[in-house]
Structure 1
């Protein structure tokens, strides 16, 4: 699937104040289309406050948020029509079946028919249990039903606030797989916050890190155009680093070798270029640090939510 170049959402100098306290300050961030985009930050960093502004649950003190080019402040209904969201826990009628819950929600949204309900049920893997009452569902199943409900109107942007809370490892993996399917099959952009850094590293294509309500960094975790391939620094130990650097036309000299930021496929291509140029390659080592290491370095070791 080709990734669209126009961001699905743009946060432009977004600020939220409560009295004299600034919860979010001058936050500017583009959320690329067709990705799973993570949102990380220490306790009280402003993640949930930002999400609440994005879906219109609280007002924006200054700045604006554009969803598919429409302003949350000036064209609220048009903007939120492109959003599906679960903020905190999905709310369901537990005495109804999963299917009855989806039908109830569908009555409030134009253009959602039985075929679309069946599509989202299949997409989140609830086909075998959709006619059981929600009170019999596990937490993971209720999360999946919540995602199905949020997807009924085919939103361009799905916003999930801490969706893995309370899930066991199997439930987390299932959710990760379903979100990837959304990107590939529906073209949905997923904006997700979570406190599980290792899972975010597996789940997300890119992540934004905020601290004290301000953006401090955006990290690309997967290679553009092939989002299932991690990208990171690789050290090529060679006999002539200067020649190798000249031949491949990128990277930097380090530790007697050449360090290049590359995907798995690119590593093989760069190795072939060096060998063809007569450069002896003694070893290829990954220097990639985990997202947790990078997060702790950026935030000074502060805890996360």
Structure 2
């Protein structure tokens, strides 16, 4: 299939609450690179449905009804599906490079396997913590504390949640930090839990209930209203001109001022914690011209300016599921 063909139909087959479903959808957004496509997620709940739809694990990607990653003889399955990326690493979703190839877009062998920012860090593994060992429970407790108070919880605030998983809060939080779900300050306190920051940043978010929070970056800010299911007003400034940029989210619809505003999505390298390698580059700009000027002034970062729909979609894909996803009863997906 070539890029000149008509809009394609892409179906993501997944079991309910599969943590890799939003990961593959975000990677598809980058692989499509603005090309028109109908992308649909279909939740599969029983083996008969899996056989009928051609699902050999969660998630399975169908492009115009065909599985480009099909393994001959693989049976229908509701279990987690594993994919081997170009670097040999096993992951729970196809790599962006492999998706591009499946879509008919050749990728050079020397190309970095990822967009300028892959899942806001974590090498494309997404921001939703695993369910095992209380990681997701503590992650969600931290995010809810930010949303309800505007600041980070102390380790002691998390003791009750951790105890329900038979572990110490400090131990779980340390694991989350090691996997780049949150960031410590120099005193071992929670400084940030994507998308929230406990210290002021360039991206201020006022929630409908009056709580004010800081976002780690522009994409994080755009994901907060969807993650919390609330209206919000995001304010930031163009790093080049100093002009104000406002995004008002009402009922899931976002209005940008000025309407020419874009988001620059970039990073220093293909690996490393997002707070270190990417957050300095994820900014709002009043126009593509000022984003281009900033990029020229900061050659350590590589990336691109993305338009409003794509920036909004990226924020929703990364952060939207963080508080709605629960642990499947059987741990699948």
Q: TM-score, normalised by structure 1?
A: 0.26
Larger Rg: 1
Higher relative contact order (CA 8 A, sep 6+): 1
* Larger strand percent: 1
Q: TM-score, normalised by structure 2?
A: 0.25
